[in-house]
Each structure stands twice: as C-alpha cells, then as structure tokens.
Amino acid sequence: MGQKTHPIAFRLAKGNSNLDWESKWFAPKSKYPDLVFQDLKIRKFLNKRIESAGLVSVRIERMNKKIKIILLVSRPGLVIGRGGKSLEELKRELLKIVKVPSPEKNLELEVEEFKNPDLSARLVAQRISYQLQRRMRTRQVATKALERIMSVGAVGVKIVLAGRVNGAEISRTEKYQAGKVSLSSLRSEIDYAEVPSLTRSGYVGIKVYINRGEKD
C-alpha cells in the first residue's frame, strides 16, 4: 500500500514562515469537540458565502473569550463592500454561529489580499472544476492551467484528475505536470488542494500541487 502524507501538513513542523496552521487555539478535553465542530461550521459557511471573492483560506484564532477570523481572498473588495457594509453584514451572520460572551466585541474579522490567484492551488482547482462542469475538454483545461501557473513564476505544478474523466464509462486517472514538483523536499513550498467536480457524466476528483520554490 502507498503511504501518502498531506503536502502542507508535512511541512508545518519545519516552521516554514509561509505555511501555518489554519486553526490556532487550545481547549480542555470537554470543550475540544464543540470548538472543532464550530470551526467546521464557520468554514463551510464562509466557503459558500464568499466563494465569489476567491477565498484562499480561513484562519481561526481563539484567545480566552475572543475569536479572530482571518480571510485570505483574491478580491477583498467583494468582502469589504462600500464603506465596509458587506463586512459588517458578514460579521452579523457569523455571530449566529460563533458562541462567545459579548460576541459583538469579542469577534474580530480581518480580510487579507492574496495577490496572485494563479499561485493558489484551491482557486486553480475550483476554476478547473467549473470548466469541467461546462463540459470543456479535459486536456485543454489542464494544459491552459499549467501554462498560466508557470507563467506567473511557479517552479512546478501537477494536476491529477480521477473519475469519469471526459465522460468515460470506467473511471480513470489522468496526470498533467509541468516543471518540478518535489513533494519529498521539506524546503519546497508546496500548495495543495482537493476539489470535486460534479459533471453531467459523474464525479471527477481534482488535485492540484503548486511548487512556489524553495524556502530556507
């Protein structure tokens, strides 16, 4: 059997400044399950609510009775809105999920910009998923994605599609790669994402690995 590890989790222990835990908090054993479930509900809500803003990641930090949520998006203007109205509305909706004392004061919401969407494995995978749902040819979609990612300075990229690719009767796996994707090197900054694509023919799983270069 193959023994595989998550490319991002594999590198967290090294202390890479560009990779960090998406949840930062400590809780006693009795409260831990409830807080994990709350984090899950927050992420599901935000993934659906601000998907159009190019959501890259959601970071959750808990400090005593306070909670801080940091949104990394490619289009922050859609989240903030004119005069910050959209951000305040989003905060009010999050208050229904987050349970902290005096939530209006103890819930902090920040928005950070991810400047290059083509270097985010999550956004690339979502774009591929959308194109496959529109019944575009798999090889054409993957080839264009490779070209775009390499053109913005990536060292390497690998795309893996598995399932009813191009409407095949029997599921299969197709791999596309450009440049160098060294998954075994801890110095390589690898971004990774898995996204499903529910096409008319059936389910297609999409995995994207992007090598952003080596970090000391």
pLDDT tens for each residue of 99-155: 766 656 688 999 999 999 999 999 999 999 999 999 899 999 999 999 999 999 999
Q: CA 78, CA 86: separation in Å to the nearest integer?
A: 8
> Is the separation of the CB atoms in 87 and 71 below 8 Å?
no
Identify the CA nearest to 162 among candidates 130, 132, 203. Answer: 203
Determine if the pTM surpasses 0.75.
yes
- The answer to whether residue 19 scores a pLDDT higher than 80 is no
Place 17 in a pLDDT band, splitting at 50, 70 and 90: very low
Segment 152-161 shows an average pLDDT of: 94
pLDDT tens for each residue of 7-16: 888 887 655 5
Question: Where does residue 106 rank: exposed (0-12), middle (13-18), buried (19+ CB within 10 A)?
Answer: middle
Q: CA 134, CA 56: separation in Å to the nearest integer?
A: 23
Q: Which residue has the tokens 């479930």?
A: 37
Domains, the chain, with CATH or none: 9-113 (3.30.300.20), 117-214 (3.30.1140.32)
Query: Over pLDDT 90: what percentage of the chain?
Result: 56
So what's the pLDDT on residue 41? 94
Q: Which two tokens stand for residue 169?
A: 């009767």
- The answer to whether residue 77 scores a pLDDT higher than 80 is yes
> Is the separation of the CB atoms in 146 and 118 below 8 Å?
no
Q: In sequence order, which residues have a C-beta less than 8 Å from that of residue 186 and are 6 or more positions away?
A: 10, 11, 14
pLDDT tens for each residue of 31-68: 899 999 999 999 999 999 998 899 999 999 998 888 99
Scored b (16 or more CB within 10 A) or e, 1-36 reads: eeeeeebbebbeeeebeebeeeeebeeeeeeeeebe
